Amino acid sequence: MAWPARATPSDSGCPLGESLTEHDRADLAAAFEQSVVESLLEKLDLALDEHTVAEVVVAGGVAANTLLRKRAAEVVGDRARLTMPPLDLCTDNAAMIAAAGLLGGGPRPADVDPSLGWGP
């Protein structure tokens, strides 16, 4: 079953508060995955329309998604070279960043402002 945009469980015949079947959960997960992948690739497609680039790199944990890999190759086509590491090298970078911090000698004063705001 394809889930329409902004669907709620009750839209698909599952009253709120009731559990989804295993099949419905799998369908919901697949629909979510497809929605996220298409959203990312829509932005990539727009960027490639606006900018001439020689290469597009898809890396990190997101590059382990096989749907994203397949669709990225289709979207990029012959507009640029698409580079993606092998699946076994596509991991979540958080553990690597934490290990680098630990091995880097521990805490020390920041040499940059870590705030997320752009303003003063």
Using an 8 Å Cβ cutoff, are 68 and 58 in contact? Answer: yes
Residues 84, 57 contacting (CB under 8 angstroms): yes
Q: What is the pLDDT of residue 11?
A: 59
Q: Please give the pLDDT value at position 3.
A: 45
> What residue ranges do the domains of the chain occupy?
20-101
Instruction: Give the pLDDT of the chain (120 residues) as one tens digit per residue.
Output: 444 555 555 556 666 667 888 998 999 999 999 999 999 999 999 999 999 999 999 988 899 999 999 999 999 999 999 999 999 888 877 777 777 777 876 677 777 776 777 665
pTM above 0.85, yes or no: no
